[in-house]
Amino acid sequence: MTDDELLALAREVSTLTDEAKQTLAGEILTRGLKFPPEEPAVTPEPDVCPDSPYAEDWKLIEIRKVWSLRDAVQLQWLLDRAGIPFYMGPEKATGVEVTSNFAEGVSVQIMQVGLPWAREAMQSYIPADEPLNQEEEDGRAMEVRCPRCDCADVIFKRLTPGLQTTTCESAPRYEWTCHACKYEWEDDGVIADK
């Protein structure tokens, strides 16, 4: 296929199989192709009246930054499969046809109400081109943030032991509470980038 044919096919990525999406993303990356700035798929942010009881649920929050077209295609596929509307980049594109530069990271946002489903869908997300941040390279501790409101004012409650069976032992769980919104959660202590 020519470069133009590949880019045209990338605009219809939702019609492809998983294997075809991966092959397409790899080929676009190998050829160093960039989406032209014309015709970005832009959808306006939902109009939300500040007095609406749904205003907080409809607020857009960043769930991830993607650093390549290959990662953007993978994330789009996961969110599309879960039926979660999303916006990429400052242009609020509803697909990978962004005019933003992936090298600087492209923000992916969803409405806050979809966060629980997005977390579940993103458990299968394995970024291929995500840069290491300096803190990870240096081995320093990263800041824990509330998964609901993204506040850094969180309180460590306790460490619960993992389950032990005759064949294996699961990892311990950390229990947290957000001081700001009072949300309580537990995790395995691994902090995932947004």
CATH label of the domain that carries residue 39: 3.30.70.1530
What is the pLDDT, as a whole number, of residue 27?
Answer: 86
Q: Tell me, yes or no, whether 83 and 150 share the same domain.
A: no
Domain count, the chain: 2
- In which element (H, E) is residue 65 found? strand 60-66
Q: Mind listing the pLDDT tens digit of every residue in the chain (194 residues)? A: 888 888 888 777 778 888 888 888 888 878 887 765 444 444 455 555 666 666 677 688 888 888 888 888 998 888 988 888 888 888 888 888 887 788 888 989 988 888 888 888 888 888 888 776 544 444 445 678 888 888 888 887 877 765 544 455 556 778 888 888 889 988 876 655 54
Residue 162 maps to a domain:
yes
Enclosing domain of residue 170: 141-187
What is the pLDDT, as a whole number, of residue 9?
Answer: 82
- Pull the structure tokens for residue 166: 């005759």
Q: Tell me, yes or no, whether 74 and 128 share the same domain.
A: yes
Q: Which of 96, 112, 132 represents a domain boundary (last residue)?
A: 132
Q: Tell me, yes or no, whether 126 and 173 share the same domain.
A: no
- List, in order, residues 6 or more apart from 180 with CB less than 8 Å away: 146, 149, 151, 153
Q: Tell me, yes or no, whether 148 and 115 share the same domain.
A: no
> Please, are residues 192 and 125 in contact by the beta-carbon 8 Å criterion?
no
Q: Tell me, yes or no, whether 119 and 180 share the same domain.
A: no
